[in-house]
Structures are given as C-alpha cells and as structure tokens.
Amino acid sequence: MDAQTVTADAHALGGAGGSAAAPTFLEQLIEAGLLIPSGVLGLYGRSETFEAIAESLNRMVKRLGEDHHAETLRFPPAIGQHDFETSEYLKSFPQLAGTIHSFCGDDRGHRRLLARLEDKEDWTDQQQPTGVVLTPAACYPVYPVIARRGPLPPEGKIINVMSYCYRHEPSLEPTRMQLFRQHEFVCIGSPEQIIAFREMWMGRGQAAVQALGLPMELDVANDPFFGRGGKIVADSQRELKLKFELLIPVNDGLGPTACMSFNYHMDHFGALWDIRTADGGTAHTGCVGFGIERLTLALLKHHGLDPARWPQSVRDTLGGQ
C-alpha cells in the first residue's frame, strides 16, 4: 500500500461510517472520540480519556519496577544519525526508520518550493537530511549514553525510559501506529544479570496483565526483519529465544497483538558501543518494553470504551499513584 492510497483511505475514514457493516474497532474508537483521525493512517490525536489511561499505565509500569531504583532518563523522540547508524537498525528494519529532512535553500529555492506547493506538485526535493533520526525504540538513546560514562558498576545498571517512537508502517489496525509510546526498563550488565532480569519481568508482566483482566499468551517474537536475508535473522532470533512477547487479542479478526516484549540482545549493543562491565568484559543488555498505546487499546477493547464502567479490580490496578 503506498502512502497516497493510505492517505486517501484515511480521509475516507475521517469522514466516518456511512457503511452498513458493523463498525471496526478503529471506527468505534474514532466515533467515541478516543482517537482523533489526522488524515494519515497510524497517526491519531488522543482524547483526555485515552491519555488518562495511558498515564495510569505509565505510573503502573514505574511502580512495577520500583525495586530496581532505576535511573530515570527521558529523551525526545529522535536520536543523532551517528548513534542511529551505530545501532545497526538499518540492517534489520530499514523500511521502518524515519529520517528528518529540512529545507536548506535560499530565497530562490523558497520561491520554487512555494510554486510547487501552489501547483500541488511534490515540493520535498530540496529537503536535506538534518542528521537527526526518529527514535525507533525507546531504549536506543540509552546505550551510547551509558557507554560514554565508562565501565559499569559491578551490579550492572538499570535505566527507565519512555518516549514516542516512530515506525513507518501505515496501517488500518489501531494497534499499529506510526508514532506511539514505549515505556522500558533497560538492563545492562552480565549475561546472568540480563537473563534473571528478563525472567523476572516475564513473571511481573503476566501478573500485571492478569490483574488488568486481560487475556494473554506469551510467545517467542516474530519481528519483520527486512528482505530475504531477514528471514535467516528472524529464524535465529526465534531459535535462540532472544525475544518473547506478551500477546493480547485486540484487533478484529486478526492475530493477537504484542503489548509487551522481553528482550535479550546478548552483547549486540554492548559490542557496538563498547560498553564494559566492571571486570572489563563486553556488557550484555536486555530490556522489557511496554507498548502504552497497545495496552490502552487492549483495556478499551476488553472492558469497554468507558473507563468509568470498568471492573473495580482493573481500576484499582491502574489507579494507584
């Protein structure tokens, strides 16, 4: 599906349900005002109610990891191109990344730009890369920062991050947004530390989703690695069980949606950025990620579009400060 088609579809969507068929979950969310269409698939405004749920999930995630006494860092939704290149994201998911481009011309170039715009032609040919790339996953800015600090303490390091992330995958599924929030705990240390961290979070994640009254299953992940070579990487990821996902059915008539993931990167990021453990070895890393929009949507799907009418146990789980 190309960008033009998608935009046209989304405009139709924004016009809302003239069709006789039962409204899709996305149409219900838009009709209830929870998501606000923007004319682009996967790009939505959020109502106050939607945001209140998202914020209570963010607080819940922080509470779940309170015993880590993690360092909290917050990054804007972009990283430097140099760090992005180092991450090797382009090897696996070139199609999902978003680079930021700006007009760098003069008065004459500006007149050309405006003339194109006036004639409804493409005006982006003068846009130049700015050296800034949208954050593909909330933990990506963390690794270079930790690397620059020098060797880790013996107990390793746990960081809490949360940010908007970008992925270029326009979709009619509300769970597949182009801009969405990931809330993560990132663990950097020895293989044993990462594996214990991940094991613990798989338990905590499942307990939290149970307390939220949602159906789930845990499975090894199936990431969309790019191209023919990507299939081999995907097979290896599954074989080595490097990534587990907590899946919840959310969308109409489709497979369940990964709402949390539990990742062991082995020494991938540690080697790329030369992160060292206290004893001088290459650090291993792992992370647990919560998809804030996806969990919000899962709650709305299973408990209804009005949070005031959700089961008390669910509201209690979300409600604490």
Binding residue for a copy of itself (CB under 8 A) from 9, 75, 238, 282? 75
Instruction: Please pick, from the candidates 13, 32, 64, 100, the single residue that binds a copy of itself as defined by CB under 8 A.
Output: 100
Report the residue from 67, 72, 203, 239 that binds a copy of itself according to the rule CB under 8 A.
Answer: 72
What x/- string results for residues 26 through 55 when contact with a copy of itself is judged by CB under 8 A? Answer: ----------x-xxx--xxxxxx-xx----
Q: State the distance between the two ends of the chain, measured CA to CA, in whole angstroms.
A: 43
| Residue 22, CA atoms < 13 Å, CB-side half-sphere | 3
**What count of other Cβ atoms lies within 10 Å of the Cβ of residue 279?**
9
| Residue 13 binds a copy of itself, judged by CB under 8 A | no
314 lies in the site for a copy of itself, by CB under 8 A? no
| Residues in 202-231 that interact with a copy of itself by CB under 8 A | 226-229
Region of 125-133, 199-207, 253-261, 311-319 interacting with a copy of itself (CB under 8 A): 125-133
CA angle at residue 137 from 178 to 232, to 5 degrees? 95
| 117 forms part of the interface with a copy of itself (CB under 8 A) | yes
Nearest distance in Å: CB 214, a copy of itself: 23
- DSSP secondary structure of 160-225: EEEEEEE-----SSTTS-SEEEEEEEEEEE-HHHHHHHHHHHHHHHHHHHHHTT---EEEE-----
Minimum gap (Å) between residue 159 Cβ and a copy of itself: 10
Among 83, 219, 223, 267, interactor with a copy of itself by CB under 8 A: 83
21, 71, 155 from 151: Cα distances, Å: 59, 16, 11
172 contributes a contact to a copy of itself by CB under 8 A: no
Site for a copy of itself contains 63 (CB under 8 A): no
- Count CB neighbours of 43 within 10 A: 15
* CA gyration radius, the chain: 21
81 scored as a contact of a copy of itself (CB under 8 A): yes
Total number of residues that touch a copy of itself (CB under 8 A): 76
103 binds a copy of itself (CB under 8 A): yes
Check the CA dihedral 105-108-109-111 and report its sign: positive
Please report whether residue 304 would count as binding a copy of itself according to CB under 8 A.
Answer: no
Name which of 53, 20, 29 is nearest 299 in CA terms. 53
Q: Does 77 bind a copy of itself (CB under 8 A)?
A: yes
How near is the Cβ of 221 to a copy of itself at its closest, in Å? Answer: 21
